Structure 1
């Protein structure tokens, strides 16, 4: 790019051009998994760049959280160029951008065929019906999985050059799911967020996916790569943390539904979480966290970064109707959250683990809590994050009870 713009006496176009071409070539490398061709045409006040790959997946501007670590590439292209778009071709696509005035730089523009991606004559389409789709969890999973896939690619490339092909296949599968499963609105206002995050409004009764036959196998690759990536994250080999078990279960359910329905071996099965919210999970942080909070006279309940309860003061234990704190310690915090808020909690904590989204942290909110007998009681709640040391964090909730 530098050489072409120097020859065209257009150095003032260089900074924006470098940003745009770097983003689009990177996208082609990690998402297309195919041969890439780049054409650059420059004049003194104009530049046109075309990037060909063999993937028919068109680029999509993401609208993820402002704190997200991924999903900004096309926004950078949009801000750096005067025009950009993508044209489908019989064997892939051309993504292009222009800076400056068209004219001479556009003179040799490649003529791409505008092929309808849903044209049944272009390739066979498989229909898959998903029932009781958890929209909030899917949205959070998409953002977490994109970050996880990117980090795992960088980790795995040291040992396996085939990781690029796996990443491209997984990205294709992720894009199909992202484009076809509705995305719920996530307000930044805490009260609006709470009101819009309650069941059944965050679950879709059914979603019909249209998958190109060639993409069915990519769903299986996605499942496999994310399983390996989640293991690596759990072992501390990646920066992004592993997330709650329901997120992994949802991904496995999605991929299984595609595989079995595409093979014609099963009818649609609705999403159901199987993780036990009351399961006891042992952890060395229980003792450390309990020791730190045991002397507090405030009504406090605390969890570790997996949202397992690691401390509860006597006043909270009594308010929730338990005989002893040992009945709470080691259990997932979902045990005191009404079921209609479970999806919101799982999605919210996944967003926080992925990108630090903290709409409901460090402020007072009114929420219902589930007591030992199954009844609910409203409380005012203030949750803050505290560091125990360089490697461990806990979330401490202060309660105001009736």
Structure 2
């Protein structure tokens, strides 16, 4: 089973630096990586101090990745990028062990980076077994998913989602985006060690591109904002959505098996979400094959996973 590590919320004040150091030390011991303690504590203290001084709440720290490659992430509520200072001078060595910028983090890391998210930013690093004398590891700064101008679909496949449960859909989206990000970072930092993560990331990207161009998704967003329990949604999607959805059904099963076999520190998929994603993605496949819409409540509980076949004219 994945080793879920709950994030730790931090309060304003330098006491939070010590709290974060203790938390990350406990997390390292929990996964049997005492060899990373020194670098994990020092890098975490630096990131938390920078967030307290330069960013704004909420601030929290969490551990993700795998036992082999654990990753510490510090989130804050600011979209302001940190200013990298990777040139450590003799004067820097005279300063406090906190507040010296990402140079110190790079010295503590085998890989590190930062990205802007919708609600703030995340700065992350993978602790090294030994702290370097100089910051030699180049970081991946601000590599969020590329935002491309996409034209909405004007011709394609009509898909109707009946009695879509909005809360389960929202939970699925949160879990899916977290999984997608986790796989992307694993592929970015350790593509050779986790080749499947690269393949999974590619499949997720293709499916995201399809949904971003679909007409009708705004109605689902409105239903979520209004707090509706369920909603009927009619979408117009690209002709590739059915095949990409069928691929996603297989990829999500692979992703779940990957999470368990690699003992990721997060991302266990609840049974209800598994059932929902099979129904949700399966409707794109079924209706492209000429079958009638099937509501969430009326779905067969033990139906086979649908396979893609070209629809009838």
TM-score, structure 2 as length reference: 0.42
| Higher RCO (C-alpha 8 Å, min separation 6) | 2
Q: Which has the higher strand share?
A: 1
